[in-house]
Each structure stands twice: as structure tokens, then as C-alpha cells.
């Protein structure tokens, strides 16, 4: 049995009772990485020397008096678009291949303050643009459940590392489903918090009005612990919301009696595989058995979410990625004689195909004569999508549906068809456009591959989302099953 089969609270008790040392946890992480990461390829950078040195420091601190938070000594992986001081941060892109940040992202600082130990940086789709982690400039991450399938994206490394037992939990980022979709594909728990719940300071921007950092874990309880640590208003981030942070753990009661669930008919419609629909209906029966009720509803503007998302996110990416020009930091071409050539060649050589595709789409949507027809129209539709959610939440506590329309697909299956690849996020994208929280928890299997149940809540009501997710998790055993590597 791996140490990481224990929940965070159990590991914390073991540390406090001196049954294990912090060094044992770090050893377990690097041992497992050495054993399986050659197959999974979840990590792009390891921080072994510093992690072991810090573990030794914390082992010495175990014998002294003082407050020991639940994250004390816990190993964690960090997605490679979250900056880490003096630890390479590449966004899985050639253009940042040698970038060593001089400061920590706010979430990383909070983890350091909690005395967690960063094991390394996790692979992703380049600049978080993708649904399969096949767009990384460095390596393809594999799904631990079946190495011939994708782990999802863009936080594929974050989900695969947790599923493979390399770290007990990780941080990802979610712009259109990039935490929840890989969590579903890899059979782990992934939360996208309400927009503004977690600081984005130090998150390399893809689409600034959509991006959110969130936790990826084995259990809902661990997820709540991790969110509790990284959440809160941040003066360094103007989009960080100054709202009260509740005790998320107090919501894990297992009690959902009287809870009203909405099930959008659009989330069980065309394109959603039959086994996926059935897994959701079975999950609803479990929740019914616990005292909740559910009814079918409509989110009529969901059908426009995909087009709306790709116009808005690509437009924002076009603006955000303009900073990577070869002048100030990052990659610079050696094949240019003029300044204009240097800009062109640096970006041509440094960015991958998917990033270029989205920059071009976004630049077109923002260009003179097209702005009103595309970007402005997309923002208007976004408002309608948000209003759909608000209307449903007037009568219901949560919305439930599948996280993805299918289980994980084969590596290379969709790489030549961008539209099919984009459609993988069709059930997660509306949540980002509306800015509400959503979680994916394991709810079944098809052909040995995990399926995910998506639970969506009201703005800043992660507590109810966790309550439902935890109740379902405790009534089933999907979260206890692990891939064999």
C-alpha cells in the first residue's frame, strides 16, 4: 500500500504521531516518479534537491512545538503555467523553454506558507491550449488507466500524476474545462472554483476572464483542504474577489436530504455516449437514495457556448501572448537581421501550431470591421449563458451532468481535427463562461476507462458543490479504484 493511498488528514495524523517522516513522503513521491513517469510523462521539471533539503528541515521541525497545518510536509505537483521562483516555468512551450521566474505565484506562496513541498512542474498543453496534453512542446502525457489514451487537457499532467500515485495532489488551471475534463479522464477529483475565488497572480494568462487555478486530488475531502489553503482575496490580482472564505470542510456532512438538483437536457443530448448518460442517471439514483430530488431543466443557450468560448478565449489569448516577442525574456531567434524579422521568426519558431491557430483566430476576431460581429457578439451571448444559470439556480441548489461526452480517446485520434478536439469541452465550457464553480468526481467506467460526474454550483457556493460531491463519493467506491501501471 502506498502512503498516498491515505487521505491528507490520515497522513497528517501519521506525521504528528511520528509514524512517518516528511522525508518518507518525499521519498515515496520520487520513488514512484522513477518507477512510472517514464511511461506516464506527467512531469516536465523536478525539484528533487530542494524538495529533499526542505523535507529534512521539516523533519527537524516535527520535534518542536508549533502549529502544524494539514498541508505540512505534503508533496504537491504544480502545473507548469503557475510561476515558481527559481524553478523553471515553461508553459510547455519552446518560447519559455529556459524561463526561471524571480517570484512565486500567490497560490505557490500560500503553499509554501503552509509548508507543503513542491515536487516539480507538470506537463500541459502549450499555454493551456488543448484538451489532450498532446500540444506540449516537450512530451505527450499518457493516461495511467490506458497508456494508449490521452489524460485530457490542458492540465493532463496534473491529473495523470495524481492518478498514477506520483503525488497525492496537484494544482491545475481551468479555462474551459482544463481541470475537470482531465480529472474525469483520469478518475480523480478536480475543482474549478468560482472565478475570483483563487488569485490568478502568477498564472501565465491564456484567457484572463476565464482562467482559474484549482485543486486536483484523489478525494473530495483532500480537494476541500487544498482549496481552503489557496483561496482568498489577493491585492496583487484585481480580479480576486473580496468575499468571505467559508470552512469548506464543515460542508462534508454526507447529508443531501431535501437538496434540489437540476439536470439540463442539453447535457444528456446528442453526442453524449449512452454509457456516459447511464452513469449520470445511476449517480442521480444514488443521490435520490440519500434524500435529494432532481428534475430536468433547460440551459437553452448552451448550444452557443463552444463558439462563444473559442472567440472570447482566442481573442484574449491574442492579446496576452503578444508579450512573447523575443525582446524581454524567453526564446529569441538567431535567424533575423531586422527587428520585424526577429518578432516574426521568434514567434514562428517558439509557438506550436495550436497556439498559432488561436492567436490568428483571436487577432481576426478583434480586428477592425470584425470586432462587433465576433468578439462583441460573443460577449453578449456569454451574458445570456450566465443568465441561463442564474435562472436555474433560483429554484435549484446544484446542476448535475456528465463532465465529458465520452471517456478518454486514443492518442493521435483527434489531432488532425481541431473542431472535434474542441468539442471535448462542450459540457465544461459553459461553467467558465458563467464564472460558477464546478467539480468532476469519478462516477463509473467504460471499457476500463473512468467517467466523470460534473456538479455545478452557484457563485461562491463551493460548499454545496463539495457537500454533494462528498455525499456521492462516500456512497460509492469509484474513487478507491486505481490504475495498474
Active site residues: 79, 154, 178
Rounded Cα distance, 143 and 147, in Å:
5
Q: Which three cell numbers stand for residue 167?
A: 503525488
Q: Which three cell numbers stand for residue 229?
A: 489553503
Task: Report whether 249 contacts 239 (CB < 8 A).
Answer: no
Sign of torsion over alpha carbons 200, 201, 202, 204: positive
Pairing of strands 117-122, 43-46: antiparallel
Rounded Cα distance, 165 and 29, in Å:
8
User: Bridge-partner residues for 122, per DSSP?
Assistant: 43, 79
Q: Which three cell numbers stand for residue 36?
A: 512510472
Structural element, H or E, at residue 59 = helix 48-62
Percent helix, strand, coil in the chain, to 5, is 45, 15, 40
DSSP letters for 406-435: SSPPBTTSSTT-HHHHHGGGTTTHHHHHHT
Q: Which residues of 447-474 are buried (b: 16+ CB within 10 A; e: fewer)?
A: eebbbbbbbbbbbbbbbbbbbbbbbbbe
Amino acid at each position: 500500500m502506498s502512503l498516498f493511498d491515505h487521505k491528507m488528514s490520515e497522513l497528517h495524523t501519521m506525521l504528528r504521531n511520528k509514524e512517518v517522516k516528511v522525508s518518507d513522503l518525499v521519498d515515496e513521491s520520487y520513488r514512484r516518479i522513477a518507477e512510472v513517469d517514464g511511461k506516464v510523462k506527467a512531469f516536465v521539471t523536478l525539484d528533487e534537491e530542494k524538495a529533499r533539503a526542505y523535507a529534512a528541515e521539516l523533519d527537524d521541525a516535527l520535534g518542536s512545538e508549533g502549529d502544524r497545518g494539514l498541508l505540512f510536509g505534503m508533496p504537491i505537483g504544480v502545473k507548469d503555467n503557475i510561476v515558481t521562483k527559481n524553478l523553471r516555468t515553461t508553459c510547455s512551450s519552446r518560447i519559455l523553454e529556459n524561463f526561471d521566474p524571480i517570484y512565486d505565484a500567490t497560490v505557490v506562496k500560500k503553499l509554501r506558507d503552509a509548508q507543503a513541498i513542491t515536487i516539480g512542474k507538470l506537463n500541459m498543453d502549450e499555454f493551456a491550449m488543448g484538451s489532450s496534453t498532446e500540444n506540449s512542446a516537450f512530451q505527450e502525457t499518457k493516461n495511467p488507466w490506458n497508456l494508449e489514451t490521452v489524460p485530457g487537457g490542458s492540465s493532463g499532467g496534473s491529473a495523470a500524476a495524481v492518478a498514477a500515485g506520483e503525488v497525492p495532489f496537484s494544482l491545475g488551471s481551468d479555462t474551459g474545462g482544463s481541470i475537470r475534463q482531465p480529472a474525469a479522464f483520469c478518475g480523480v477529483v478536480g475543482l474549478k472554483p468560482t472565478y475570483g475565488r483563487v488569485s490568478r497572480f502568477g498564472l501565465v494568462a491564456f484567457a484572463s476572464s476565464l482562467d482559474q487555478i484549482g485543486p486536483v486530488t484523489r478525494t473530495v475531502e483532500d480537494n476541500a483542504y487544498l482549496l481552503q489553503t489557496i483561496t482568498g482575496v489577493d491585492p496583487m490580482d484585481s480580479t480576486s474577489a473580496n468575499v468571505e472564505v467559508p470552512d469548506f470542510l464543515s460542508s462534508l456532512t454526507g447529508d443531501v436530504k431535501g437538496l434540489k438538483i437540476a439536470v439540463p437536457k442539453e447535457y444528456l443530448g446528442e453526442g453524449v455516449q449512452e454509457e456516459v448518460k447511464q452513469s449520470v442517471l445511476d449517480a442521480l439514483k444514488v443521490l435520490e437514495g440519500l434524500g435529494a430530488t432532481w428534475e430536468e431543466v433547460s440551459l437553452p443557450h448552451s448550444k452557443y457556448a463552444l463558439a462563444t468560448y473559442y472567440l472570447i478565449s482566442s481573442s484574449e489569448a491574442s492579446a496576452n501572448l503578444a508579450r512573447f516577442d523575443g525582446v524581454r525574456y524567453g526564446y529569441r531567434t538567431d535567424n533575423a537581421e531586422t527587428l520585424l524579422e526577429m518578432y516574426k521568426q521568434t514567434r514562428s519558431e517558439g509557438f506550436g501550431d495550436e497556439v498559432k491557430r488561436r492567436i490568428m483566430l483571436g487577432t481576426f476576431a478583434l480586428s477592425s470591421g470584425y470586432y462587433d460581429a465576433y468578439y462583441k457578439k460573443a460577449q453578449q451571448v456569454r451574458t445570456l449563458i450566465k443568465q441561463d444559470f442564474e435562472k436555474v439556480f433560483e429554484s435549484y441548489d446544484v446542476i448535475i451532468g456528465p463532465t465529458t461526452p465520452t471517456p478518454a480517446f486514443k492518442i493521435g485520434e483527434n489531432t488532425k481535427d481541431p473542431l472535434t478536439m474542441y468539442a471535448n469541452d462542450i459540457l465544461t465550457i459553459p461553467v467558465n463562461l458563467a464564472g460558477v464553480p464546478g467539480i468532476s468526481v469519478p462516477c463509473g467506467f467504460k471499457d476500463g476507462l473512468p467517467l466523470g460526474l460534473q456538479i455545478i454550483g452557484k457563485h461562491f457556493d463551493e460548499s454545496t458543490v463539495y457537500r454533494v460531491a462528498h455525499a456521492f463519493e462516500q456512497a460509492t467506491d469509484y474513487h478507491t479504484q486505481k490504475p495498474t501501471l
